[in-house]
Structure 1
């Protein structure tokens, strides 16, 4: 199979376009793709400057240009070069226009405007960084989500991902010899979620962590029986408190976060008397 040159042309940061391309490419088996990324293309002059690269590396052009003038110019260049140009958001925007009964604004970078959601994300990121790894228990009640799990169960990266989605997230490590502060069990506002994984996967991750730090890999930290006991301790705690549990063994960070967000949304729709369940998701 020949290598595909994929040109991503955006009039904003290109984050949306990159995510769409990544999601679409994930449906193929190891595609040989060379990505050419062109963000912040907001003028005809800027657009014209990338044409030589389009000609030198012919392939597929994805774009999210909303300005009619620059969009038309790109399509003209692509026709001249014989390249397919795909406006990836057109069908979604058209469907929304039909259902909402109004036309899209067509302003570049509108999704990145510093609106209320933007400042909510900034606040969430600041809170999450300040409450990583069990820090600041006095302020856990302010969290939207609290993640609980043993060491190396993806708590921190999942917390950061959730923060970028606007959720204030604290994470708390579970250590058999050092139980978490009593404050954890009295929380009312946050959704508390337990993260678990398979013992084999956890040992592997911990060994890799120790190797990266040039530390000895034969310690209680990676002992199979000890790791199983840690996970059993965590599961008992999750069950005793009725916290929902997510098994991250075969989940990416994005998939884990999506499951947590779904739990948060479901809880918001339920009466206060209905709690979570302690079964793995």
Structure 2
């Protein structure tokens, strides 16, 4: 049946992040169809589940869930079957695969992936560092970074840095500004992976024009002059080539795709750094 929208119910005994990520990845394949998300996090007892079931019944659709408690899982499936909502346990196929290979889980726990462990605190440390070293701040501390991103304005340095920090990678970034000298400290970095980001001049001009429009600022400036922007991009690419820094063209890449490429480079850089 063709639909231009549908109700998507995401039921989790944790934060619901897993369900949101998975469902949006699939929903993105259906252009022209809008998913109306209903997110129910921290569902851990029968009373909470009862309220969720009532809401699902008022707007049936697709129900995705991650519930460790088998009784709650069974109740959700049975209730949804009664009023025609389709259900799927997103984790069950993966749990069964782990079970077949590793045996039963020792202690199933809702939200176990969000425990306050060393990985969690590593991510917090990375976020704090990244925010303190955004847009060229505290250049003298860049040696402590895992990754340093360079690029002209509007090459997604900051959002990419924050995404990497959420993965536990301490990331600093520095903007390449026409006519502004580059701090010598950037040329003597040893530990961090330095990556150059660039985009097509056309794409950068488009983003900059939108930026000026949002600020109600005049677009009569070299900031959006196509020739000037082209010169900026070419100068940055020459710098990256001279320093033999890896480069990534972000013109048609999402933040996630750019970050994935950087993480792959970072893994190789770590191995080389350890070997040296």
Normalising to structure 2: TM-score of the pair? 0.95
Alignment match, 1:80: 82
- Give yes or no for the alignment of 1:109 onto 2:144: no
Alignment match, 1:277: none
Give the Cα–Cα distance (whole angstroms) in 2 for the partners of residues 174 and 120 of structure 1: 29
Q: Deviations for 1:170-197, whole angstroms, at most 9, x for unmatched residues?
A: 0000113112210001111111100000
Instruction: Give unpaired runs (5+ residues) of structure 1.
Output: 275-281
TM-fit CA distance, 1:134: 0.5
Q: Is the 8 A contact 1:148 1:173 kept in 2?
A: yes
Alignment match, 1:279: none
Instruction: Give unpaired runs (5+ residues) of structure 2.
Output: none
Alignment match, 2:229: 227
Report the more deviating stretch, 102-111 or 249-258.
102-111
Q: Superposition RMSD on alpha carbons, in Å?
A: 1.5
Give the Cα–Cα distance (whole angstroms) in 2 for the partners of residues 90 and 39 of structure 1: 18
Q: Deviations for 1:96-154, whole angstroms, at most 9, x for unmatched residues?
A: 23333452632111111110010001000000000001110111000000000001110
Alpha-carbon distance change, 269 to 102 in structure 1, aligned in 2, over 3 angstroms:
farther
Give the Cα–Cα distance (whole angstroms) in 1 for the partners of residues 49 and 93 of structure 2: 23
Q: Is the 8 A contact 1:60 1:83 kept in 2?
A: yes
Give the Cα–Cα distance (whole angstroms) in 1 for the partners of residues 155 and 102 of structure 2: 42
Alignment match, 1:68: 70
Alignment match, 1:51: 53
Q: Deviations for 1:197-243, whole angstroms, at most 9, x for unmatched residues?
A: 00000001111111111111010111111101100110011001111
Alignment match, 1:164: 166
Q: Map of 1:168-183 to 2, 5 A cutoff?
A: 168-183=170-185
Normalising to structure 1: TM-score of the pair? 0.93
The count of corresponding residues between Structure 1 and Structure 2 is 274
Q: Is the 8 A contact 1:6 1:35 kept in 2?
A: yes
Alignment match, 2:122: 120
